Structure 1
Amino acid sequence: MKSILAFGDSLTWGFKAGSWTRHAFEDRWPNVLAAGLDGKARVIEEGQNGRMTVHDDPYVLENRSGAVALPIALSTHQPLDLVIIMLGTNDLKWEGRQRAFEARLGMARLVEIVRTFAYKPGGTVPQILLMSPPHLGKTEDEDFAGYFEHALAESKNLGAQYARLAGETNCFYFDAASVATADPTDGVHLDAANTRAIGTGLVPVVKEILSL
């Protein structure tokens, strides 16, 4: 059986828009993907609310840097056949880091971590699938508008930046915005149908990558 690491932020964790709770197990996109692979692969959920590519969040207790968490996840879950990375939305929050260009630089660092990690003897470097998140949307939620309203247009540039990075680094690429739209309740997170849509959309892509 193949092993896939789904590494991301609240969209991978399954944050239910407007509720601060988690979508049901069967609705979260990593588990929808696993179901669509018909038992030929396990998909490991590794989502953290607020996670960024390489930055920490000074306002919370836990470290939210993907560059810190990724080596731990690689070590914990190896051997792996595929790592799917969907990050970048939270990189757009902070003043001075609100460009998709910087998110691409952070994603490039994560690709480097996967490629250079010291896997156990006999282990191989997993394939990498970069995934750009659904675009940010307008919302009347004051807190989420405060975090992201300045970055609505820039979020639409993540796809082009990640597609370019995938081409430069010989990674695979999937645009989650092609199948999913943010819930206007907070303009960031997804309802059950849209998070399921990401998993469903990934099924043929992952089957091709892993020859399933």
Structure 2
Amino acid sequence: MSTIQRSLIGALTALMLLGGNAAQAADGATKRIMVYGDSNTWGYVPVESGPTTRYPQDVRWPGVLRVALGPGYEIIDEGLSARTTDLPDPTLPHISGAGLDGSAYLPAAIATHLPLDLVVIMLGTNDLKKMFNRSPLRIALGVGKLADIVNQAKGGVGTSYPAPKVLILCPPPLGTVAPPERAERFAGGIDKSEALPAYYEGIAAAAGAGFLDVGKLTTTDGVDGIHLTAAAHKAIGNGVAEKVKAILK
């Protein structure tokens, strides 16, 4: 047998082994988790004004979650800055298609990433904007709509996967929002954000979803009062990991 033939046989054997591992993952050996959120999931670095950058993957809380869970879990990061629960945002028309309406994009996101064991949702901060005029209850109902979408997400396109489980995270309350123009955009939002946990917990119970109040893990500690420092991301990732393990045990 020539060297080339031996190399080809070795390569084919490796491909077969990789195929077997992929099949095992698809059959559920690896728990697949999609994290669905806004800029605090995307990894927006807080700045008082001007453009910003994104935290590296290992700093963002979904990345911290990935490390905390360890082998056997796959994290799919679906964060988008300015995303709402179920509202279009007329101030950002260049984000076309489903836009910033979380309920409009969620069905396609789920179908894209099936099979999924769990969808983790942390949204509602952008619903606090003054222009939307939403009560804490209405914001929680928006999150409930997302949970309902996940609960009904059976099959995907040409498949028969079951619907994933749901974990609802209530964002931490807003801090002192800055600068003044941003504070005006979120006027009244601090009080509303502090009222969210009770409503979120009730909605999660009604939807048969898991619940975690992220405000018990960290504060909104960025300089702008809306976004999170690296330390906060670490606290969230580690705290959510414990909840995920309990749900998927």
Instruction: Output the TM-score relative to the length of structure 1.
Output: 0.95
SS in structure 2 at match of 1:146: helix
In the alignment, does 2:84 pair up with 1:52? yes
CA drift of 1:97 comes to 2.8
User: What is the total number of aligned residue pairs between the two structures?
Assistant: 211
Which 5+ residue runs of structure 1 have no aligned equivalent? none
Q: Answer whether contact 1:136 1:148 (CA < 8 A) is retained.
A: no
Q: Find the counterpart in structure 2 of residue 207 from structure 1.
A: 245
Give the AA of the match of 2:176. K
CA drift of 1:183 comes to 2.4
SS in structure 2 at match of 1:27: coil
Cα distance in structure 2, aligned partners of 1:176 and 1:31: 16
Q: Pick from 127, 130, 155: which aligns with 2:193?
A: 155
Moved over 3 A (4+): none
Q: Which has the larger radius of gyration?
A: 2
Compute the RMSD of aligned alpha carbons: 1.3
SS in structure 2 at match of 1:79: coil
What does the per-residue CA deviation read over 1:58-104, in whole Å, with 9 as the maximum and x for residues that have no partner?
Answer: 01121100011101110110110000000001011033533211111
Q: Pick from 114, 126, 137: which aligns with 1:101?
A: 137
Give the AA of the match of 1:198. I
In the alignment, does 2:33 pair up with 1:4? yes
What does the per-residue CA deviation read over 1:102-159, in whole Å, with 9 as the maximum and x for residues that have no partner?
Answer: 1111111111111122424331111100000011011341232122132111101111
Q: Answer whether contact 1:138 1:184 (CA < 8 A) is retained.
A: no
Q: Find the counterpart in structure 1 of residue 43 from structure 2.
A: 14
Give the AA of the match of 1:181. T
Give the AA of the match of 1:34. R
Identical amino acids, percent of aligned pairs: 37
In the alignment, does 2:145 pair up with 1:113? no
Q: Pick from 180, 183, 190: which aligns with 1:142?
A: 180
Q: Pick from 173, 177, 180: which aligns with 2:211?
A: 173
Q: Answer whether contact 2:65 2:237 (CA < 8 A) is retained.
A: yes
Give the AA of the match of 1:56. P
Cα distance in structure 2, aligned partners of 1:129 and 1:138: 28
Q: Answer whether contact 2:120 2:168 (CA < 8 A) is retained.
A: yes
Q: Pick from 40, 56, 68: which aligns with 2:72?
A: 40
